């Protein structure tokens, strides 16, 4: 496919007028409902975001007007579907400032993106005795694929320890662990439990100096702050569509062209080949080499609409808004007392995990749900980190731009009610 030139100005857009957050909220049909008799307060955005009308409409429009298979047809609908699918790829490249759309591989989510790198790049370029460096903050999706790879090839996982309940990482510890044995360094941009924003640019600079390949898990950051893979200086970066207002089942793996070119294919099938004989095949060029079978065309189109939608708001403004709500929740929980709150104080992304004294997180979530407040309870696919913290699970409130200060007040009121509820009969 062709590289499409993009204006350089796309990286640093001019300042925007103040955002009318209340108006944006009305773009989300799902938010206008009652749950158990109370207005829905949706605070589980780190698990998945809601979808604006514009994204839903884009998917419906595709199925109602343009649905066809891509890259194979000569007919009009196939041309339209192909154009829309590839336009989404170009838009992703712009969204993360990738040098070329050829470096954008569509996958079904962050998890598949990471598994793809483990199964192809990792399998080919890592060998017995090599080390994969990870943070203790890692989501299971950025641990288990590496465990599986390490078991296959005899590589070893090494974790950079995080600082207690804060969840921050000292660069000195990274330096100490970036030994010549390390071949790959993976890390989350934003921790889904701690809300820590990691210094990914510094991580990548250190890794690059040591000749170590990097992979950024951007699942929690892509929809919440500006992502610029050239500025970050990473080799791979993965994120999911459904956490950034797009549909489920579509995600992105960015990889530097040089790396993608050198990697073997992921799955075999149609689309990923240049030519096939009965006993052999030649691979297609990147990124198609990694996209066997009919892709999630509607998903890519929905993701395109989602990226347009959130960029019309501005990701800097979104980050500031989410952070403001997280800080309000953090301060509120602190003043309630009786809560252990995780993460780096007020310098955090838009989520707050906590445990209440004497109330298990599942009980917190059940009681909050009965008041219409949707929280996450459990280990958030962060079981090793929870074990390190000495807890089995925590409750988490995670925010997005359609959440309001009023909803944070409601959340705090409900948490106070839960504390009172569980205190009854305790003496």
Q: Which residues are catalytic?
A: 381
370 in contact with another protein (CB under 8 A): yes
> Smallest gap, in angstroms, from Cβ of residue 332 to another protein?
23
> Smallest gap, in angstroms, from Cβ of residue 413 to another protein?
15
> Smallest gap, in angstroms, from Cβ of residue 348 to another protein?
24
Rule CB under 8 A: choose which of 366, 405, 406, 413 binds another protein.
366
34 in contact with another protein (CB under 8 A): no
Window contacting another protein (CB under 8 A); options: 253-261, 279-287, 327-335, 371-379:
371-379
Q: Which pair of structure tokens corresponds to residue 315?
A: 């990701």
> Smallest gap, in angstroms, from Cβ of residue 75 to another protein?
42
CA atoms within 13 A on the CB side of 415: 29
**Interaction with another protein in 35-64: which residues (CB under 8 A)?**
36-37
| CB distance 398 to 388 below 8 Å | no
- Choice between 26 and 36, CB closer to another protein: 36
12 in contact with another protein (CB under 8 A): no
Q: Is 35 helix (H, G, I), strand (E, B) or coil?
A: strand
| CB distance 382 to 398 below 8 Å | no
- Choice between 297 and 365, CB closer to another protein: 365
Q: How far apart (Å, rounded) are the C-alpha atoms in residues 225 and 313? A: 11
CB atoms within 10 A of CB 34: 9
- Cβ contacts of residue 211 below 8 Å, gap of 6+? none
- Choice between 119 and 368, CB closer to another protein: 368
DSSP state of 154: T
DSSP state of 221: T
Burial class (CB in 10 A: 0-12, 13-18, 19+), 368: buried
Q: Which pair of structure tokens corresponds to residue 381?
A: 């696919």
- Choice between 252 and 339, CB closer to another protein: 339
- Choice between 54 and 360, CB closer to another protein: 360
Q: How far apart (Å, rounded) are the C-alpha atoms in residues 146 and 380? A: 19
> Smallest gap, in angstroms, from Cβ of residue 355 to another protein?
12
Rule CB under 8 A: choose which of 68, 363, 404, 416 binds another protein.
363
- Choice between 166 and 369, CB closer to another protein: 369
Q: How far apart (Å, rounded) are the C-alpha atoms in residues 376 and 380? A: 8
- Choice between 220 and 394, CB closer to another protein: 394
Q: How far apart (Å, rounded) are the C-alpha atoms in residues 82 and 278? A: 28
17 in contact with another protein (CB under 8 A): no
> Smallest gap, in angstroms, from Cβ of residue 391 to another protein?
9
CB atoms within 10 A of CB 9: 8
111 in contact with another protein (CB under 8 A): no
Window contacting another protein (CB under 8 A); options: 12-20, 196-204, 271-279, 416-424:
416-424
**Interaction with another protein in 381-410: which residues (CB under 8 A)?**
383, 386, 392-393
> Smallest gap, in angstroms, from Cβ of residue 150 to another protein?
21
CB atoms within 10 A of CB 152: 13
Cα dihedral 45, 227, 311, 57 in deg (nearest 10)? -60
| CB distance 291 to 271 below 8 Å | yes
Rule CB under 8 A: choose which of 242, 376, 379, 410 binds another protein.
379
| CB distance 122 to 149 below 8 Å | yes
Binding string, residues 318-357; x marks residues near another protein by CB under 8 A: ----------------------------------------
> Smallest gap, in angstroms, from Cβ of residue 414 to another protein?
12
- Cβ contacts of residue 233 below 8 Å, gap of 6+? 201, 204, 205, 208, 214
Window contacting another protein (CB under 8 A); options: 100-108, 207-215, 274-282, 369-377:
369-377
Is the peptide bond prior to 287 cis by the omega test (within 30 degrees of 0)? Answer: yes
Rule CB under 8 A: choose which of 53, 54, 156, 360 binds another protein.
360
**Interaction with another protein in 197-256: which residues (CB under 8 A)?**
none
368 in contact with another protein (CB under 8 A): no
H helix runs in 268-395, sequence order: 297-313, 315-336, 361-370, 383-389
Q: Which pair of structure tokens corresponds to residue 371?
A: 């008041």
Kindly list the residues in this chain that would bind another protein in the complex (CB under 8 A). Answer: 36-37, 358-363, 366-367, 370-371, 377-379, 383, 386, 392-393, 421-422, 424-426
């Amino acid at each position: 496919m062709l590289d499409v030139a993009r204006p350089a100005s796309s990286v640093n857009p001019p300042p925007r007028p103040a955002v009318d957050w209340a108006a944006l909220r009305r773009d989300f049909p799902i938010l206008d409902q009652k749950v158990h008799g109370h207005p829905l307060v949706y605070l589980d955005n780190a698990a998945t975001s809601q979808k604006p009308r514009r994204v839903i409409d884009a998917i419906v429009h595709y199925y109602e007007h343009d649905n066809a298979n891509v890259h194979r047809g000569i007919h009009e609908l196939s041309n339209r579907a192909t154009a829309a699918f590839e336009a989404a790829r170009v838009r992703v490249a712009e969204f993360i400032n990738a040098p070329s759309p050829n470096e954008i591989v569509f996958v079904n989510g962050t998890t598949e993106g990471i598994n793809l790198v483990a199964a192809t790049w990792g399998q080919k370029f890592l060998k017995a005795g090599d080390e994969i460096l990870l943070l203790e903050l890692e989501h299971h999706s950025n641990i288990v694929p590496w465990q599986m790879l390490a078991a296959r090839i005899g590589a070893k996982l090494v974790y950079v320890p995080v600082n207690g309940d804060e969840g921050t990482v000292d660069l000195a510890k990274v330096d100490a662990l970036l030994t010549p044995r390390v071949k790959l360094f993976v890390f989350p941009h934003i921790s889904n439990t701690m809300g820590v924003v990691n210094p990914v640019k510094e991580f990548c600079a250190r890794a690059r100096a040591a000749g170590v390949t990097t992979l950024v898990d951007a699942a929690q950051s892509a929809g919440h702050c500006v992502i610029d893979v050239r500025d970050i200086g990473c080799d791979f970066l993965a994120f999911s569509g459904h956490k950034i207002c797009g549909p489920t089942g579509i995600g992105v793996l960015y990889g530097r062209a040089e790396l993608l070119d050198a990697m073997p294919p992921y799955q075999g099938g149609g689309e990923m080949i240049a030519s096939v004989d009965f006993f052999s095949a030649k691979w297609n060029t990147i990124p198609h080499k990694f996209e066997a079978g009919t892709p999630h065309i509607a998903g890519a189109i929905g993701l395109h609409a989602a990226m347009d939608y959130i960029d019309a708001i501005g990701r800097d403004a979104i980050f500031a808004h989410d952070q403001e709500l997280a800080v309000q929740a953090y301060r509120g929980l602190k003043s309630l007392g009786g809560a252990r709150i995780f993460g780096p104080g007020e310098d955090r992304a838009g989520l707050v995990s906590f445990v209440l004294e004497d109330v298990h997180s599942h009980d917190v979530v059940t009681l909050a749900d009965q008041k219409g407040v949707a929280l996450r309870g459990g280990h958030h696919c962060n079981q090793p980190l929870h074990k390190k913290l000495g807890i089995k699970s925590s409750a988490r409130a995670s925010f997005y731009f359609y959440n309001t200060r009023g909803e944070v007040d409601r959340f705090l009121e409900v948490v106070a009610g839960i504390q009172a509820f569980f205190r009854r009969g305790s003496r």
